[in-house]
């Protein structure tokens, strides 16, 4: 991927009356990258997208696109492609006329417009329904038409606000794959707002996790997942087990009888939280375990299809453990189990 900054979101803040919707958001979005803004409801991700689109004005900060300050430009001058939850297609128009609408506004006529519409209909695999009214399409087909219409104008930026949230799980999964393939085919710099962690992990080159209007971490999905910046990120993405492990002593904390080294800049006496992902915990029948292994009891279990999730109560704490179905053989609610983990897969954070 090219390393040049396409869009610099420079110290953007936004106040609504006395409420800080965004606080000093500073991000550099690379050309051709797929960026996902992820976070709980009310974290500021849609406000940030609307500021990029030009529908909201920042209280402070600037938007720099290819070196040019576009902060005061109206939306129509920015020329960005947009798909929102509502899709906003024209129900009285055919598929082809919907896709060609932005081209028509820009004065693209005749053969050039037809060729572009045909190209996009092929790309979204709907060449046979050009003349069909949008109102007669399925949810997935309408989604593809909205994406094609946004991409028809060859926008410098492609902005999406939870565009797949209304689709059923199977269709949503298919559309995620199609959306990523389309983005890669056109090489368009894309910013997507979602609250769906799976969607963000699958689509993003860069994942931006927001909470209370501030960026908590911005990095590749694998880095955010495996090296979370703080306990909020660890818990929000993939639901880690957060365990109070007390104070650092001699450069380590005690996690169920195992010494886990604490990274700098933490010091002896600091109170710490440990975060361990459910899939990084192992279980074995207690009878087969060594004497040093911490023992707990299975208090709940559920079949997730390809895996089984357990809740294990150990030393007064309830931990989620996710194992393959083969590992789950012979275990049931009430089973006494030994807990195993690799200290290298434990993240440590200063307790609030």
Last residue of a domain, one of 193, 226, 259: 226
Distance, CA of 219 to CA of 204 (rounded, Å): 10
Are 68 and 163 in a shared domain? yes
State whether the Cα torsion 39-44-47-52 is positive or negative: negative
Identify the domain containing residue 43 by its residue range.
5-226
The total number of structural domains that make up the chain: 2
Alpha helix stretches (DSSP H) within the chain: 45-53, 75-78, 95-105, 110-123, 139-152, 169-186, 197-203, 221-226, 231-236
Q: Do β-strands 307-314 and 317-324 pair in parallel, antiparallel, or remain unpaired?
A: antiparallel
Say whether both 111 and 191 belong to one domain. yes
CA nearest to 321, candidates 311, 313, 329, 330:
311
Helix count and strand count (H, E) for the chain:
9, 20
Domain contains 193: yes
| 174 falls within a domain | yes
Q: Residue 246 forms beta bridges with which residues?
A: 272
Distance CA 58, CA 22 (A): 9
Does some domain include residue 185?
yes
Q: Half-sphere exposure (CA, 13 Å, Cβ side) for 50?
A: 12
- Digit-by-digit pLDDT tens for the chain (352 residues) are 445 899 999 999 999 999 999 999 999 999 999 999 999 999 999 999 999 999 999 999 999 999 999 999 999 899 999 998 777 788 888 999 898 888 888 888 888 888 888 888 888 888 888 899 888 888 888 888 898 889 888 899 999 998 888 788 888 888 888 889 889 988 999 999 998 899 999 999 999 999 999 999 999 999 999 999 999 999 998 878 999 999 999 999 999 989 999 887 888 999 999 999 999 999 988 877 666 778 899 999 999 998 999 999 998 899 999 999 888 888 899 999 999 999 999 999 999 7
Q: Check whether residue 248 and residue 182 sit in a common domain.
A: no
- Domain-located, residue 232: no
157 within a domain of the structure (yes/no): yes
Domain membership flag for residue 237: no
Instruction: Output the domain CATH number for residue 342.
Output: 2.40.50.140
| The two three-digit tokens of residue 256, written as one number | 């169920």
Closest CA to 268 of 284, 253, 285, 290: 253
The reply to whether 58 and 96 lie within a common domain is yes
Please indicate, yes or no, whether residues 278 and 331 belong to a single structural domain of this protein. yes
Identify the residue whose tokens are 């053989």.
Answer: 329
125 is a domain residue: yes
Shared domain check, 262 and 169: no
222 and 251 belong to one structural domain: no
Residue 153 lies in a domain: yes
CATH of the domain at 121: 3.40.50.300
């Amino acid at each position: 991927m090219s390393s040049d900054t396409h869009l610099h979101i420079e110290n953007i803040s936004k106040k609504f009356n006395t409420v800080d919707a965004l606080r000093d958001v500073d991000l550099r979005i690379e050309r051709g990258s797929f960026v996902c803004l992820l976070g709980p409801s009310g974290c500021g991700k849609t406000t940030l997208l609307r500021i990029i689109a030009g529908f909201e004005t920042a209280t402070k900060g600037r938007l720099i696109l290819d070196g040019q300050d576009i902060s005061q430009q109206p939306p129509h001058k920015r020329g960005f492609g947009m798909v929102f939850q509502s899709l906003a297609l024209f129900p009285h128009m055919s598929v082809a006329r919907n896709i060609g609408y932005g081209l028509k506004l820009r004065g693209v006529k005749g053969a050039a417009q037809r060729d572009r519409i045909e190209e996009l209909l092929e790309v979204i695999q709907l060449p046979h329904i050009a003349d069909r009214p949008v109102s007669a399409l399925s949810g997935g087909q309408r989604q593809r038409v909205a994406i094609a219409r946004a991409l028809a104008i060859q926008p410098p930026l492609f902005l999406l606000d939870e565009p797949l949230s209304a689709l059923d799980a199977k269709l949503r999964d298919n559309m995620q794959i199609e959306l990523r393939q389309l983005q890669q085919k056109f090489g368009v710099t894309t910013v997507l707002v979602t609250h769906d962690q799976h969607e963000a992990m699958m689509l993003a080159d860069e994942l931006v996790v927001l909470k209370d209007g501030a960026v908590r971490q911005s990095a590749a999905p694998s880095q955010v997942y495996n090296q979370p910046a703080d306990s909020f990120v660890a818990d929000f993405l993939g639901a880690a087990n957060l365990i109070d492990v007390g104070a650092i002593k001699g450069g380590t904390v005690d996690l169920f009888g195992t010494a886990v080294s604490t990274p700098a800049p933490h010091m002896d006496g600091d109170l710490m939280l440990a975060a361990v992902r459910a899939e990084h915990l192992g279980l074995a029948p207690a009878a087969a375990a060594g004497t040093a292994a911490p023992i707990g009891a299975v208090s709940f279990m559920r079949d997730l299809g390809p895996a089984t999730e357990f809740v294990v109560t150990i030393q007064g704490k309830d931990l989620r453990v996710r194992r393959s179905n083969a590992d789950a053989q012979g275990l049931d609610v009430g089973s006494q189990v030994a807990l195993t983990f690799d200290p290298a897969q434990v993240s440590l954070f200063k307790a609030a």
